[in-house]
């Protein structure tokens, strides 16, 4: 019986560490990308970058809480970051500076048009959902941002050109 419990616990412990490390990598990259938006200063709330982390399940809530814990009170370019987690069914009307989504594909499809219309950057922690977000990351031999220029254009967000030199560009045809 103890062996059976260990068989289930060891992978959970190992993957929990991987999730936490991935959250730190994504949190670091996503928070810096916010400052590539030419209009980011207009999107600050009380002088702070406010990031809403959207989730749709209890498993995703745990990851959202890790993002909040990692991002809260960080400072980039002298600007404080404040992160808040929200279930997509309880989304606030107040607009954040950006969104990080931890959603199932069907929920991402439902909410993407609303988020695009708000002219805020939308990041996804799941690179397979990049067609519904503006940015994600690719983890391979190196960590590379992935951007979706079509959604960036649809939301009328203008990013500093440096991102197009370092990022992998998602193409709907891929």
Instruction: Read off the pLDDT of residues 37-47 as tens digits, 9 standing for 90 and up.
Output: 999 999 999 99
Whole-number pLDDT of residue 52: 97
Number of domains in the chain: 1
pTM of the predicted protein model: 0.86
pLDDT score of 18 more than 60: no
Whole-number pLDDT of residue 78: 93
Residues 5-22, mean pLDDT to the nearest whole number: 52
Whole domain around residue 71: which residue ranges?
2-169
Question: What does the pLDDT look like over 108-141, one tens digit per residue?
Answer: 999 999 999 999 999 998 889 999 999 999 888 8
Residues 158-169, mean pLDDT to the nearest whole number: 92
CATH number for 42: 3.40.50.2300
Q: Where does the pLDDT of residue 11 fall: very low under 50, low under 70, confident under 90, or very high at 90 and above? A: very low
CA dist., res. 133 & res. 23, Å (int): 17
Q: Average per-residue pLDDT in the chain? A: 88
Question: What does the pLDDT look like over 71-115, one tens digit per residue?
Answer: 998 999 999 999 999 999 988 788 999 999 999 999 999 999 999
Whether residue 174 lies inside any domain: the answer is no
CA dist., res. 136 & res. 133, Å (int): 8
Whether residue 88 lies inside any domain: the answer is yes
Residues 54-76, mean pLDDT to the nearest whole number: 93
Whether residue 146 lies inside any domain: the answer is yes
- Nearest Cα to 151, choosing from 134, 130, 164? 134
172 Cβ contact list (under 8 Å, min separation 6)? 131, 150
pLDDT score of 2 more than 80: no
Whether residue 110 lies inside any domain: the answer is yes
Query: Each residue of 46-77: b (16+ CB within 10 Å) or e?
Result: eeebbbbbbbbeeebbebbebbbebbeeeeee
- Nearest Cα to 116, choosing from 143, 103, 134? 134
Q: Where does the pLDDT of residue 17 fall: very low under 50, low under 70, confident under 90, or very high at 90 and above? A: very low
Whether residue 36 lies inside any domain: the answer is yes
Dihedral sign from CA coordinates of 50, 58, 21, 110 = negative
CA dist., res. 160 & res. 153, Å (int): 13
Residues 9-28, mean pLDDT to the nearest whole number: 64
């Amino acid at each position: 019986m103890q062996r059976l419990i260990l068989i289930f616990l060891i992978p959970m412990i190992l993957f929990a560490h991987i999730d936490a490390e991935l959250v730190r990598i994504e949190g670091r990259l996503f928070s810096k990308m916010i400052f590539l938006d030419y209009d980011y200063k207009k999107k600050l709330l009380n002088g702070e970058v406010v990031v809403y982390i959207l989730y749709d399940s209890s498993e995703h809530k745990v990851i959202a809480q890790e993002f909040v814990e990692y991002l809260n009170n960080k400072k980039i370019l002298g600007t404080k970051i404040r992160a808040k987690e929200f279930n997509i069914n309880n989304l606030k009307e107040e607009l954040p500076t950006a969104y990080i989504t931890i959603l199932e594909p069907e929920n991402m499809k439902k909410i993407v048009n609303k988020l695009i219309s708000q002219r805020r950057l939308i990041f996804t922690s799941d690179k397979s959902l990049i067609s519904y977000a503006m940015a994600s990351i690719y983890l391979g031999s190196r960590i590379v941002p992935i951007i979706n220029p079509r959604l960036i254009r649809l939301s009328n967000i203008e990013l500093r050109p440096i991102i197009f030199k370092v990022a992998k560009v998602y193409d709907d045809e891929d």
